[in-house]
Structure 1
Amino acid sequence: MASRSLILSKNISLNHNSIDRATKGDSSYDEIANILIRKNITLVAHYYTPSEIQILAEETGGIVSDSLDMARYGSRSRSSTLLVAGVRFMGETAKILNPEKTILMPNLHADCSLDLGCPPKEFRLFCEKNNDREVVVYANTSARVKAQADWMVTSGTAVDVVRHLHEKGKKIIWAPDKYLGDFVQRQTGADMLMWDGSCIVHEEFKAQELRELVARTSDVEVLAHPESIKDVLEQADFVGSTTALIDYAKGSKSKNLIVATDKGIFYKMAQAAPNKNLIEAPTSGESATCKSCAACPWMSLNNLISLKESITNENNKIEVPSAIVKEARKPIERLLEFASDSKQVVFGNNDA
């Protein structure tokens, strides 16, 4: 099971005051922008990265989006080198979909509790013991785990894919996020055997504190990512992926929006809904274990200092063996084919 001990074992500080705060106008910022443009490196950044990284991506011709749209955008880019600002599985996914391109990351130690909590060897044994089931994995997994799957899904496509399999009489192995899996199971009624993983950010949201916050806030709606715990999701007015949450905020008629996901999303959400008061869902409580909650500590490893070093020296390359690329691509392509047949939008609207 994913836990804060994973972070401690990696010696990652939870103090987000250490994040590089260089901003637009600083010489370092301008220098990085010039290097990206001069070397024709496309910066693709996740919604959860620090705002200065997102600004840099926007202003140098890159993109800020969810994990799979980042990789998909890389396929459309004319650049032969992509700089992926996010966590490691995102860089691997970009390499799977763009094996001919060089994929750089600001920091190769930027991991993910869902990825770390699902080791490929252990997962293989789990699948072998339950080989009568279809293997469905979330996008937030390593290339080696994806290579063992029949299907890969995003948070926005998971319900439809699992419902499709359930209607065909398939039993399912689901990995790695048990809370997202529980949400999907409640929506579909499918027979799902869950891997015991979780996101260390989303499992910190506290249901009772959320009730109290809603009770004292007028003209309010709750928006939640489906990686959150059941008691939080049951209070939400809208549950959706990162991009879906931003889209909902833009169209909401409520003045106040309580958002249960990583607070890095607030940069793009504020752009989309500038007149909304965006409120972080509470993570405080007796059982809270973090000092800087609702923020992924690994995402904070994406800063301007590490980014500059990566593009200057062209190091921190993501390498995925060709055999793994071949196998890991299959469940992704299966999702794309399913989405095409069902007229779903997979990238840029429904992803993790």
Structure 2
Amino acid sequence: MLLIQEQIKTALKARDAVLVAHYYVDTKLQILAEATGGIVSDSLEMARFGQNSNANLIIVAGVKFMGETAKILSPEKTVLVLDNNATCSLDEDCPIETFSKFCDQHPDRTVVVYANTSAQVKARADWVVTSGSAFNVVKHLKINGKKILWAPDKHLGNYVKNKTGADMLLWQGACVVHERFKAKTLIQLQNKYPEAATLVHPESPQEVVDLADVVGSTTALINAVKNRKEQTFIIATDNGIFHKMHEVAPNKKLIEAPTMGVGADCESCAHCEWMAMNTLENCLSTLQTGNNEIFINANIRKKAKNAIQKLLDFTA
């Protein structure tokens, strides 16, 4: 019997499909995506890759909002996610009804939302940003005299607010993975490995961000491991990223930042339970059945595309 990877490769070719995977999903899916002409990247780059691909079918290994972003940019293509129940706490923390009312209460503010949101929330926004672009976009808006309503991640929003000095009203969402990182035990780990550089994703709490040598997006953290001179790194983000970090810097030592206190069952449990729902088995099943297709209302899609396009034009 063929290995499941070979079955998936055959099915991808037969269905004229491309597999795009996030840095946080299972290593086997990341390897398979690149081996079959797909990509491993952040959510916006996954969607943009699918848009530019000649494939008629985009298979998204990630969470549901990533599938929606891919569909927003490629409405003429079929987009399938591996599990319809794979969601995101940031998306869940920002329901469109309450968020829309919040926006209506502050009509003088430019609405900037993080990519980790539903298509409906993106459609309500003026701008969509990523963790890598948020600082530059907010700085640009501040220079142009704009007051900002930010959603959903309060930690990333606070980080950008502190760095830019912009007038930002923050929605109070948080990532269940990044919010678990602990400053007290991180300091203990830094004392144990004084030669290590500490890399932190800005969705982490401020007291953790304050301890970082590098604060940045998934791509920025991977590049830091690749390019910095240190040989040891303490990493405060989802541990799914370790595959790509080992790939770009195979001889460097990577240590997971602590998410649990002293005496806990694990020193670090930094892995998204929804990302973990992406498996080789449901990848093959999705390809064979066509289940888990993403559908978006045309009006919602058009409005969301406008907010995303501002970012794409800004970063071009």
Aligned to 2:54: 78
| Aligned match of 1:326 | 302
CA distance 1:289–1:219, shift in 2 (3 Å): closer
Q: 1:28 to 1:82 in 2, by over 3 A?
A: same
Task: Quote the offset at 1:33 in angstroms.
Answer: 1.8
- Provide the aligned C-alpha RMSD in A: 1.7
The reply to whether residue 299 of structure 1 matches residue 270 of structure 2 is no
Aligned partners of 1:271 and 1:291: how far apart in 2?
24
Q: Which runs of 5+ in 1 are unaligned?
A: 1-24, 341-352
The farther-off stretch of 109-118 and 160-169 is: 160-169
Q: Which residue of 2 aligns with 1:216?
A: 192
> Which residue number corresponds to residue 120 of structure 1?
96
Aligned pair partner of 1:55 in 31, 45, 58 = 31
SS in 2 for 1:199: coil
What whole-Å deviation, never above 9, does each CA across 1:183-229 have from its counterpart, x for those lacking one? 00000111111100000000000001000001011421000111111
Say whether residues 1:275 and 2:270 are aligned partners: no
- Asked if the contact 1:204–1:288 (Cα under 8 Å) also holds between the matched residues in 2, the reply is no
**Number of matched residues?**
316
Q: For 1:312 and 1:110, locate their aligned partners in 2 and report how far apart those are by CA, in whole Å.
A: 19
For the 8 Å contact 2:147–2:168, the answer to whether it is kept is yes
- Structure 2 match to 1:97: 73
**How much identity, in percent, do the aligned residues show?**
53
Contact 1:176 1:196 survives alignment (8 Å): yes
Query: Which amino acid in structure 1 is aligned with residue 110 of structure 2?
Result: E
1:21-49 per-residue CA deviation (whole Å, 9 max, x = no partner) reads: xxxx9722221221112222100000000
Secondary structure in structure 2 of the residue aligned to 1:318: coil
Q: 1:153 aligns with which of 129, 151, 156?
A: 129
Higher relative contact order (CA 8 A, sep 6+): 1
Distance 1:172 1:286 in 2: 39
Query: Is the CA contact (8 Å cut-off) linking 2:258 and 2:267 kept in structure 1?
Result: no
**Normalising to structure 2: TM-score of the pair?**
0.97
Aligned position for 1:229:
205
Q: 2 CA distance for matches of 1:277 and 1:153?
A: 31
Q: 1:103 to 1:331 in 2, by over 3 A?
A: same
Match of 1:313 in 2: 289
Mapped partners of 2:33, 2:216: distance in 1: 24
Distance 2:165 2:213 in 1: 22
Give yes or no for contact 2:198–2:234 (8 Å, CA) kept in 1: yes
Distance 2:124 2:199 in 1: 33
Structure-1-length-normalised TM-score: 0.87
Any gaps of 5 or more consecutive residues in structure 2? none
Deviation of 1:167 after TM superposition, in Å, equals 1.6
Q: Counterpart of 1:43 in 2: which secondary structure? A: strand
Query: Distance between the aligned counterparts of 2:128 and 2:265, measured in 1?
Result: 31
Does the residue aligned with 1:147 lie in a helix, a strand or coil? helix
Query: Following superposition of structure 1 onto structure 2, how do residues 282-293 of structure 1 map, counting pairs within 5 Å?
Result: 282-285=258-261, 293=269
Kindly indicate whether the alpha-carbon contact (under 8 Å) linking 2:111 and 2:126 is maintained by their aligned counterparts in 1: yes
Q: Is the 8 A contact 2:261 2:267 kept in 1?
A: no
The letter of the residue matching 2:214 is F
Distance 2:195 2:9 in 1: 41
Q: How far off its partner does 1:339 sit? A: 2.1
Structure 2: how far apart are the matches of 1:311 and 1:123?
A: 35
| Corresponding residue SS for 1:259 | strand
1:108 equivalent to 2:84? Answer: yes
Contact residue 218 and residue 256 of structure 1 kept, 8 A: no
* Cα deviation digits, residues 240-271 of structure 1 (max 9, x gap): 11011111110111111000000000001100
Q: 1:335 to 1:35 in 2, by over 3 A?
A: same
State which of 2, 7, 11 in structure 2 corresponds to 1:35. Answer: 11
How far residue 291 of structure 1 moved from its aligned partner, in angstroms, is 9.4
